[in-house]
Amino acid sequence: AVDQKTYMESLLMRQDKMSMAASVESRTPFVHYPLAKIINTIPNHVKIPGKVTKPILKKFSEQYLPHDLIYRRKNGLLLPYNDWLKDETGLGRFLDLIASNDCHLADYAADKNTLPTIVREFKNNNIGKIPSMIHLTNIELWLRGLNDGVREGDMFVN
């Protein structure tokens, strides 16, 4: 209940403004005043009984949803960055920038020879212990835009 009075209003306002700014339709689940009044009457030890999160909602959902769905582990939204970077006509065309002598990211690397090696290993599918290529690609493109400005043919400008 403390969060509802101190924190929730600003979170809802921020969520509303950001979704409108991005032209995204957004809904806040379970923000319903009559429901909140009922939930606030339930003791905290029932709502939060240890390591189980949302136990009341999960128990209620069991009559409508499969058990495995309700109790599965959380999984973030995974994007196929590696597939995108393997596409030479898409994001993959920027990997050669990181491996080139003109690499802006190399100015900040402890060992300038590491970046071409990382790109080569990525292209050879040896991606087990290399940093996230999407992050390196994004930083390189950002540095190029910052240092050189955006020119036609660079990045995604046509």
pTM: 0.52
pLDDT digits (tens, 9 = 90+) for 88-130: 888 888 888 888 888 888 888 888 888 898 888 888 887 665 5
Domains identified in the chain, total number: 2
Report yes or no on 75 lying in a domain. Answer: no
Residue 149 confidence (pLDDT): 72
Report yes or no on 20 lying in a domain. Answer: yes
Whether 1 has a pLDDT exceeding 80, the answer reads no
Average pLDDT, stretch 131-140? Answer: 86
**Whole-number average pLDDT of the chain:** 84
Report yes or no on 26 lying in a domain. Answer: yes
Domain range holding 31? 2-70
Tell me, yes or no, whether 86 and 62 share the same domain: no
Residue pointed to by tokens 């995604």: 156
Percent of the chain residues topping a pLDDT of 70: 91
Return the HEC string of the chain: CHHHHHCHHHHHHHHHHHHHHCCCCCCCCCCCHHHHHHHHCCCHHHHCCCCCCCHHHHHHHCCCCCHHHHCCCCCCCCCCHHHHHHCCCCHHHHHHHHHCCCCCHHHHCCCCCHHHHHHHHHHCCCCCCCCCHHHHHHHHHHHHHHHHCCCCCCCCCC
Report yes or no on 76 lying in a domain. Answer: no
Report yes or no on 119 lying in a domain. Answer: yes
Where is the domain boundary, 70, 102, 120?
A: 70
Report yes or no on 141 lying in a domain. Answer: yes
Residue 17 confidence (pLDDT): 92
Report yes or no on 35 lying in a domain. Answer: yes
Range in 1-10, 63-72, 105-114, 148-157 the model is least confident about: 148-157
Average pLDDT, stretch 69-76? Answer: 88
Tell me, yes or no, whether 10 and 64 share the same domain: yes
Task: List all residues 6 or more positions away from 80 whose beta carbon is below 8 Å from its beta carbon.
Answer: none
